[in-house]
Amino acid sequence: AQSVTQLDSQVPVFEEAPVELRCNYSSSVSVYLFWYVQYPNQGLQLLLKYLSGSTLVESINGFEAEFNKSQTSFHLRKPSVHISDTAEYFCAVIASGDTGRRALTFGSGTRLQVQP
């Protein structure tokens, strides 16, 4: 069974500082990896995804994540955060290939708190 570990439940950081949110997964099969963001009182929104190809993926708002197969990690980074990045961030995994399985397996989430 797949599992996702987000080691940090909360990450406080000052505005314009860099940040890294850690995600490790456990799976015996090839996977697709995702980061979702949840702003207060809103649903989960897809931030970025790794399906195949380049191991570095980027979002439109400056976040990036790098798939590291040997370390089974998919850490999320941003070089300079804004107050508006304050949210809950969820890492998720799904088995790749034609397994018929569509369910996302989520980590427990990391609350990013950007302070002025």
Instruction: Give contact residues for other proteins (rule: CB under 8 A).
Output: 32, 36, 41-46, 49, 51, 90, 92, 94-109
Tell me the closest approach of the beta carbon of residue 46 to other proteins, in angstroms: 5
Q: List, in order, residues 6 or more apart from 70 with CB less than 8 Å away.
A: none
Largest CA distance in the chain: 46
Query: Running DSSP on this structure, what letter comes out for residue 58?
Result: E
| Comparison of 11 and 44: residue with beta carbon closer to other proteins | 44
Q: How buried is residue 38: exposed, middle or buried, by Cβ count under 10 Å (0-12/13-18/19+)?
A: middle
Tell me the closest approach of the beta carbon of residue 103 to other proteins, in angstroms: 4
Task: Return phi, psi of residue 83, to 5°.
Answer: -55, -40
| Comparison of 15 and 24: residue with beta carbon closer to other proteins | 24
Query: Running DSSP on this structure, what letter comes out for residue 50?
Result: E
Tell me the closest approach of the beta carbon of residue 110 to other proteins, in angstroms: 12
| Comparison of 110 and 114: residue with beta carbon closer to other proteins | 110
| Comparison of 4 and 81: residue with beta carbon closer to other proteins | 4
Tell me the closest approach of the beta carbon of residue 59 to other proteins, in angstroms: 13
